[in-house]
Amino acid sequence: MSFKIPDNTYLKAALVITMMALMQVSMSSRSAEVPDPYVTVQEATDELIARLAKVKPLYETDRQEFYREVRNSLAPLVDFEGFARGVMAKYYRSATDAQKENFVTKFERQLVETYANALAAFDHQKIEVNQPSQPPEDGRATIDISIHGSSGQVYTVIYSLALLDGNWKLRNVIIDGINIGYQFRSQFSNYMQKYGNDIDQVIANWNVDSVAAS
């Protein structure tokens, strides 16, 4: 199968694969007492291909419903609040409750829409889950994914997983050497400097898509 991604969108598309696969990893691991991260990610990837074919048509027929479908699928499995707190990093402590809530709301909405829009770029995919070089240790695992582009290019996605309540949960992702968690934290810090430590201005101007496209 070929994997087609329009120019300058491969990073966002890979993010979609990461989050959609994460949904399936979490679902698959619930039925196993001691889940194997490689097996569950492999099964997740197989299921992902079928899921994309079902979800994609909504993008053209009902865009808002498409966004809701993606959001509803991600919500039970992604700790948006924890993710946003990590992005704010040291600035989280000085933010008011209202500012924290506003940032989480905007961060979640932009993240979901970015993934949803990139999802529409998929045609057929060839994704390989690579056998880990080391077994899970202390409830943590690293799984490498190879995404084959239509022109022969191969994009590497590295999942950092943690076993929480019997489910493998994504803690971070590195795409072609780009540490996504670090990129978001760096952007927030840069915005704080740009807007004179005015958190309200940072939130008002925050744009997840600018990190995904960089």
pTM of this prediction exceeds 0.75: no
Whole-Å CA distances, 195 to 103, 125, 188, 204, 208: 15, 41, 10, 10, 17
Q: What percent of the chain has pLDDT over 90?
A: 20
CA 37 vs. chain centroid, Å, equals: 17
Res 11 pLDDT > 70: no
pLDDT band at 5 (very low <50, low <70, confident <90, very high): very low
Mean pLDDT of the chain: 76
For 139-189, write each residue's pLDDT tens digit: 888 889 887 766 777 878 888 887 877 877 777 778 788 887 888 899 999
30 vs 50 pLDDT, higher one = 50
According to DSSP, the β-strands at 127-129 and 140-148 are antiparallel
86 vs 169 pLDDT, higher one = 86
For 95-106, write each residue's pLDDT tens digit: 999 999 999 999
What are the φ/ψ torsions at residue 179 (nearest 5 degrees)? -80, 105
DSSP-assigned letter for residue 156: E
Mean pLDDT of 19-32: 54
Contact between 139 and 98 (Cβ < 8 Å): no
Mean pLDDT of 42-71: 77
Res 7 pLDDT > 50: no
DSSP-assigned letter for residue 137: B
Res 25 pLDDT > 90: no
Predicted pLDDT at 194? 96
Res 12 pLDDT > 70: no
56 vs 198 pLDDT, higher one = 198
Mean pLDDT of 45-72: 78
- Alpha helices by DSSP H, listed for 56-179, are 58-61, 63-74, 80-88, 97-119
